[in-house]
Structures are given as structure tokens and as C-alpha cells.
Amino acid sequence: MVAPMPIPTGVWGGTNVQLNVTSSGATVAFCCALGNIPGPIAVDSSGHFTIVGTYQSTNGPIPVGGFVNVPATYAGTVNGNTMSLTVSGPVNQSYSLTFGVQMTTNCVCAL
């Protein structure tokens, strides 16, 4: 059995998404939302990963008590410097990311 391998630390970006990976976890910026992955992201021998984190919508007026973190599953595949990422839970979205690329966005959050 091959031990899981950590993905490269740094910025992974794409349209409406940016994953900032450190050795201890990751933060995610989406169009009008934020995410947190509380542990290292490691891939199996096929380049796949699945990890539970949180997701927080930042769209619209700030609710009383602030925006709430809800559980979300982050799953994907890393192949060289590209990543496919699927977020499921409060939203179901898929993204394509590239290592070393900043997020590009074409959205406007509602206020």
C-alpha cells in the first residue's frame, strides 16, 4: 500500500475559485463564499482526495450573528499542476484549478 502524498503547497486557482494550500490545511475563496479545509490534503496513488471541511456563503446582507460555517466535502483529482475540485454539501459545484495561478472571477455578489 502506498502512503498518501501531500499536494504541493501554494496557490491553486481557476475561474471563481482559489485554493491556498499549506502543510496544515487550506483555505478556499469562491465567488461570494469561503471555505476551510482543516488538515493536510493528501492524494492516493491515483491522485484522488476527499476531505471534509467547512463552507460559508458570504452572499447578501450579513445575517444577525454573522455568516455561518456549514460542513462541506471537498473531493478531487490532482494530475501534475492541474486539479479538478468538487464541493458538495450546501452547494454542489465543480472547478478546474491550476497550480501557481490566481483566481479569476466573473461574478458579482448580491448585497
- All structural domains of the chain with their residue ranges: 5-99
Predicted confidence at residue 87, as pLDDT, reads 97
DSSP 9: P
**From residue 8, how far is each of 26, 74, 78, 108 by CA, in Å?**
11, 16, 10, 30
Predicted confidence at residue 68, as pLDDT, reads 87
> What's the Rg (C-alpha) of the chain?
14
The Cβ of residue 109 has, within 10 Å, a number of other Cβ atoms equal to 12
Task: Find residue 60's DSSP bridge partners.
Answer: none
Tell me, yes or no, if the pTM score tops 0.75: yes
In which residue ranges of the chain is pLDDT below 50? none
Predicted confidence at residue 49, as pLDDT, reads 97
Predicted confidence at residue 110, as pLDDT, reads 58
The per-type count for the chain, helices as H runs and strands as E runs, is 0, 10
* Residue 14 to residue 86: CA distance in whole angstroms: 13
The SS3 assignment for 40 reads coil
Predicted confidence at residue 106, as pLDDT, reads 77
Half-sphere exposure of 21 (CA within 13 A, CB side): 20
